[in-house]
Structure 1
Amino acid sequence: MSVAELVCQYCSHRNAGNPAQCGHCGAPLPAVHRLSSLTGHPEQVERVVAGAERAAAATESVVAGAENAVAGAEKLAAQQYPRWQWGAAIAAVVATVVGLGFTVVRSCSTPLASMPDMGIEQALPGQLRAAASCQRVDSTTENCVVPAADPLLAGGITGGKDLTLSVALDPPQRRADTVRNWRTAGGTVLADGVVFIAISPTATLRYANTLVGLRVETGSFNGRAAAQTFMARAGLTP
């Protein structure tokens, strides 16, 4: 069959010339034959068609080869690395990631009990910290003094005397014992929750923050009202 004789793909009707549609059923004819009528070189079009067919065959061969290679690789992996080994490897990776995350979280966390390394007085409220002069007794305790002339003691609430304070940061295992001992020691309890505040029978102020471990015990005031006045001025409130 020459290029000029076109066969319809729908009804197999043979058409003469270079029509765009089948003369029998009106269906469109292949574009490659219409190209021949435009170029005027049907032999070149035939070579193009033959080359395209060879390229298509080569492509199919390459695809088939790739599929065979993939199948072979899967079989090889299945033979050398059983499914349980893949599962174990994934579980090991997950465990490693979780362990690293836990380590990072712990390394980024600073326990409150380590605050003594920064200076125990740093845990005090700002007003009291600014007024007090402190000296370390041991790794968890400091003795502090507020001068009698300081505004925190205005009004003679200590009888014109300096106020001494014992300031400590208790570890978690000692905090409950401190509060329990103060609770049973008598006096007036002003707060009994996360923050415990009491005024003893001798008008000393007892303050404990069980969340951070801060413990403050003062010298005597001129009565309970004077102790409460200092508590408010110094920021030692619930």
Structure 2
Amino acid sequence: MSVAELVCQYCSHRNVGNPAQCGHCGAPLPAVHRLSSLSGPAARAEQVVVGAERAVAATAGAVAGAENAVAGAEKVAAEQYPRWQWGAAIAGIVTMVLGLGFTALRSCSTPLAVVPDLGIEQALPGQLRAAVSCQRVDSTAANCVVPVADPLLAGGITGGKDLTLSVALDPPERRADTVRNWRTAGGTVLADGVVFVAISPTATLRYANTLVGLRVETGAFSGRAAAQTFMARAGLTP
């Protein structure tokens, strides 16, 4: 007898054991009595087929149970945590991220606000900056002094006195006026471009860098040559 004789005639359902009719749809199984005649290899083959079918059925049941468990868990979560709570949580996270970003931007911009407090003397050439001591007049101007013992004044170019300097950072709208006034005041102009340098009739040195707005005006030297010597030593050159 072939294994096919164990299959229901109407629904192709395979039966287990030796029933009189199909257990799934009730179809008659006229040849089912011949199942008992199976022996030897054929019987063992039939037993393997039946065992496999039982394993498949058990696996399908386990999968269905797992799906039901997942659906139940989702239902419980939905009941305990309504959708509006999830929306509120997401909105809170977005607000927190935006707040952190704003704080980071403010912290990054803070150093720009304190740059003027570094000192006006920071705009001076290195040689002169190392020699002077300054006192602020306001946020854009300072009065500075080079002591007579400093190497910049070696050779008595100031007649044995400290050298005073007026230092300022001019805004863009005032830079051209400063140079224009110095140019018309007389004296000897040594440079007249982005950097303006002149020695006044009273042997004071006038320096303006119109690119950065640095303006320096010194006290009197012992003469024009002394003023030029200091200009070269201090780095106040074009």
TM-score range, shorter chain: 0.5 to 0.7
Deviation of 1:180 (Å):
2.0
Q: Which residue of 1 aligns with 2:181?
A: 184
Report the residue type matching 2:143 in the other structure. E
Match of 2:217, SS state, is: strand
Q: Within 5 Å, which residues of 2 pair with 1:82-231?
A: 92=95, 95-109=98-112, 111-116=114-119, 121=121, 123-132=123-132, 134=133, 136=135, 138=137, 140-147=141-148, 150-154=150-154, 158=157, 160-170=159-169, 174=171, 176-177=173-174, 180-185=177-182, 186=184, 187=186, 188=189, 190-193=191-194, 196-209=196-209, 214-221=214-221, 224=224, 226-231=226-231
1:167 and 1:216 in contact (8 A); partners too: yes
Deviation of 1:111 (Å):
3.3
1:199 and 1:206 in contact (8 A); partners too: yes
Report the residue type matching 2:108 in the other structure. V
Q: Which residue of 2 aligns with 1:24?
A: none
Q: Determine which structure has more spread, i.e. the larger CA radius of gyration.
A: 2
Deviation of 1:102 (Å):
1.8
Closer/same/farther in 2, CA of residues 54 and 163 from structure 1, 3 Å limit: same
Closer/same/farther in 2, CA of residues 198 and 124 from structure 1, 3 Å limit: same
2:158 and 2:220 in contact (8 A); partners too: no
Report the residue type matching 1:190 in the other structure. A
Equivalent residue pairs, number:
196
* Stretches (4+) displaced over 6 A: 85-91
Q: CA RMSD in A?
A: 4.8
Deviation of 1:205 (Å):
1.9
| TM-score (norm. length: structure 2) | 0.54
Q: Which residue of 1 aligns with 2:61?
A: 57
| TM-score (norm. length: structure 1) | 0.54
User: In structure 2, what is the Cα distance between the partners aligned to 1:89 and 1:112?
Assistant: 36
User: In structure 2, what is the Cα distance between the partners aligned to 1:90 and 1:155?
Assistant: 71
Match of 1:162, SS state, is: coil
Deviation of 1:222 (Å):
5.1
Q: Which residue of 1 aligns with 2:14?
A: none
Residue by residue over 1:78-126, the C-alpha shift from the partner in whole angstroms, topping out at 9 and shown as x without a partner, is xx3799x89976874564344223211123445331123xxx5455333
1:144 and 1:164 in contact (8 A); partners too: yes
Residue ranges of structure 1 left out of the alignment (5+ in a row): 8-36
